Amino acid sequence: MTHPHAAEALQATAIAGIAGILIAGAVLAHLARRVRQPAVIGEITAGILLGPSLLGLLPGNPTQRLFPDEVRPLLSMVAQLGLLLFMFTVGWELDWTTMRRRKSSVAGVTAGSILAPMVLGIGVAALIYHNHSRVNSEKVPFSSFSLYLGVSMSITAFPVLARILKDNNLSRTKIGALALTSAALGDVLAWCLLAGVVAVVTASGPSGFTDTLWMSAGYGATMVVVVRPLLARGVASISRRGTGAHLATLVTAGLLLSAYTTSKIGIHPIFGAFAFGLVMPRKPEALLEERMLRPLQHAGELMLPVYFIVTGLSVDVAAMSPAAWGELCLILAAAIVGKLLGAGLPAKSFGLGWKESTGVGVLMNTRGLTELIILGVGLSLGVLDQTLFTEMVLMALITTAMTGPLLPILFPRSRMDLVAGRGKSSALLRIPEPAGEQSSDLAG
């Protein structure tokens, strides 16, 4: 039994640690924006710097003093709550109407941007498996290892991508809308693939996997057939009464129960929060944005930086060997080439020029926080060891950081004005319609 004074001391240490996390995250996020990078780059970097990669190397190991082992479960709980809130907002903000427009081009870019890096990722897994086949003395099946690495490579973080597009004046272009819509659809497919991989990893034999599969199907059907109509009626009732003071509280309780359900089924809680966001009504939009989305986003923004620190505590760049750096180069090559070819070639086939289709590939190479979430799941499941986890986190950081500097090279400021339709010509907006589709403006 923990002594009351010891428990209070741990709580005080956790509080001080969270304060340090928020300050470091805010400072690094500001610096990231100053160099035209999304804030998440600064926050991820803050997490790495506060971990054993830098702060832990100083005399007295300040990392261990700030975040002792006894405090880390408390930090993980805060991080998990922030993560669930984030995943809910990701699911709610998906624009299904936009996804249904220009179906062929979106489907082509989405499929290519997932399949090409996945295949290359499985190839990389075959080359490096012998170095990472055991985690905590347990043998990792090659099927689980290769599938996990493949899915990890296929991710595009559309929340970060949306910010990059806005910062580069590409939000309201067909190039940006094509990339963003494909990333959104790709994330849905990637989460489904990941759920399947997690079910394979956690299932105890074929019968266990079958049970998980059936329970997941039942959960999905219940969310669509039962939960979604109930939520629609509840929100409509709140809207008619003009209330909604407790809407964010009730929605948070609902997404937590959904996360609990998926956890009991055998898949990660993040899938439950994401699914709850998918079935949550979108109208009345003004009420939901004011009473639900903004409070949850603000709460998530406060708690999510803790997730970067929890992640950073497992990243040890200083411990990487020359062989590990060689693996990182291989992983980077597969991740970048997979996205450039997988997204760029389909975009080219639908009428974009080489420079514009390359731009789509560069945009789809953005991974950010979404990649960290998937890697964290892999680490907790024992599919990834500490070294490979560090390599993959660095890959996510580098590929996301590449996007901002490359876009002005592909689209100089004068050309960006043309892309956004502010110049005399808007040639880059004219993407030929695939045969059999009605004209639609993705940027609208």
Residues 361-401: pLDDT tens digits? 888 888 877 788 888 888 888 899 999 999 999 999 999 88
Say how far apart CA 317 and CA 335 lie, in whole Å: 20
Q: What is the per-residue pLDDT for 437?
A: 38
Q: What is the per-residue pLDDT for 83?
A: 86
Say how far apart CA 187 and CA 190 lie, in whole Å: 5
Give how far Cα 320 sits from Cα of 47, 63, 116, 444, Å.
17, 18, 28, 47
Say how far apart CA 157 and CA 153 lie, in whole Å: 11
What would the pLDDT profile of 288-325 be if each residue is shown by its tens digit? 888 888 899 888 888 888 888 888 888 889 889 999 99
- What is the distance in angstroms between the CA of the first residue and the CA of the last residue of the chain? 60
CA dihedral 176, 163, 122, 392 (to 10 degrees): 160
Q: Which two tokens stand for residue 318?
A: 């200083």
Outline where DSSP puts E strands in 273-315: none
Pick out the chain residues at pLDDT < 70: 1-4, 95-105, 171-172, 203-209, 242-245, 413-444
Please state the φ and ψ torsions of residue 398, each to the nearest 5 degrees: -70, -45
Among the listed residues 3, 2, 25, the one whose alpha carbon sits nearest the alpha carbon of residue 310? 25
Say how far apart CA 46 and CA 38 lie, in whole Å: 13
Which residues, in sequence order, are CB contacts of 45 under 8 Å at separation 6+? Answer: 28, 32, 397
393 and 374 in contact (C-beta within 8 Å)?
Answer: no
